[in-house]
Amino acid sequence: MIRKSRLLIVILACICVILTIINYAPHPHILSLNEKLHSFGRSRHPSFVIEPNNVEFHFTNPKGISGNSNQVVERNKRRYQQLFSQEITEPLDCELHRPGTQYKKANATIIALVRNNEGVKLGRTIKSLQQKFNNRFNYPYTFINDQPFTDGFKAKIMRYVGDNTPVEFVTIPEKLWDKPDSIDVNRETIAMSALAKENVAYAHKASYHNMCRFYSGNFYNVPELQKYKYYWRIEPNVDFYTDLNYDVFKYMEDTKKVYGFTIGLADIHQSIKTLWPETLAYLNTDDNYKYINPNGSFQWLVDPLQNPIKHQVTGGYSTCHFWSNFEIGDMDFFRGEAYN
């Protein structure tokens, strides 16, 4: 039930924006589609219908993919191997801001949700990120916890952070972390037990549910984050392998990018059986269709070829979704009407 709420937001975000990194500035083609949608209250295409109380998405197989699911998966694996073997290059769509040059930095922070017993693991991450990026740009860190940080944790972390880098330790307000009263506890308990019987991870773990809810709907409301526009989420116990010799936050600002993520995967279909029908029901209510970007990645959302069982169990959803662990984004988007 908690997971369903989290992923409903993810799917709506996918529909409202485009895949990979999202841009506020409308491309002329996108603008014409949006004008058509809002001027006439409807938009039709072979793969979708976007009208008041009539929102539908259809898989049209635009690339003419053939074969059974195993063959599709094998072809995709080969394609991924080709992509992963390619050199990762810097963006080419704007002038990049380099270390040592004079410019106004973006209004941004690096954030991490972390526990007091993860000081060493977080220190490893900070050490790596400082070496690969932040020693050059000195963006502030905001460390977040549902419990007050200990003095020992703070002292440990400060050993990894440069003297010129601002650091803030934040305790999450209970109303932004704890389970809201609106959740039906009886239905929640039944649903969690059903998921546990199907060996779905974290089915009964309240802290995990709180974390998912917080990162999907509340992190941008933390008071100490209100002064920032952009954020980059990091995790304890990770390494960064690529030198970043340009200001990624300034790149987001200059190109009006809204969101970026690192990986997209198929989800555990047992945990989201009603997510897609609920999403469609929402979009077909009142004027909620207006939040759909006609240029969205609908084929990605309803593709049945790679995982037909997942598609069937979820009522037409591919279960493809992006992980938020190392996301970078514009909190003004999350604070806006469409997301909320």
What are the extents of the domains in the chain? 105-262+323-339, 264-321
User: What percent of the chain clears pLDDT 70, i.e. is strictly above it?
Assistant: 88
Task: Considering the candidates 56, 168, 235, 327, report the single residue annotated as catalytic.
Answer: 327
Q: What was the pLDDT predicted at 163?
A: 83
Q: Which CATH architecture has domain 105-262+323-339?
A: Alpha-Beta Complex (3.90)
Q: What was the pLDDT predicted at 191?
A: 93
Chain-centre distance for alpha carbon 310: 21
* 20-24, 34-38, 278-282, range with the lowest pLDDT: 20-24
d(CA 8, CA 209): 14
Provide mean pLDDT across the span 295-306: 93
Q: Are strands 230-233 and 108-113 parallel, antiparallel or unpaired?
A: parallel
d(CA 222, CA 190): 31
Helix axis angle, 119-129 relative to 151-158, nearest 10°? Answer: 20
Q: Read off φ and ψ for residue 304, nearest 5 degrees.
A: -95, 0
Sign of CA dihedral 73, 76, 82, 83: negative
For residue range 113-136, what is the model confidence (pLDDT) as tens digits? 999 999 999 999 999 999 999 999
90 is catalytic: no
Q: What was the pLDDT predicted at 58?
A: 95
Is it the case that residue 6 has pLDDT exceeding 60?
no
Provide mean pLDDT across the span 213-221: 94
- What is the helix, strand, coil percentage profile of the chain, to 5? 45, 15, 40
Provide mean pLDDT across the span 212-231: 96
d(CA 24, CA 306): 31
For residue range 168-184, what is the model confidence (pLDDT) as tens digits? 999 999 999 999 999 99
Side chain identity at residue 66, one-letter code: S
Side chain identity at residue 322, one-letter code: F
Q: Read off φ and ψ for residue 231, nearest 5 degrees.
A: -145, 155
Is it the case that residue 14 has pLDDT exceeding 90?
no
Is it the case that residue 18 has pLDDT exceeding 70?
no
pLDDT-based confidence at residue 88 (cuts at 50, 70, 90): confident
Q: Contact 233/112 with Cβ under 8 angstroms? A: yes
User: What percent of the chain clears pLDDT 90, i.e. is strictly above it?
Assistant: 79
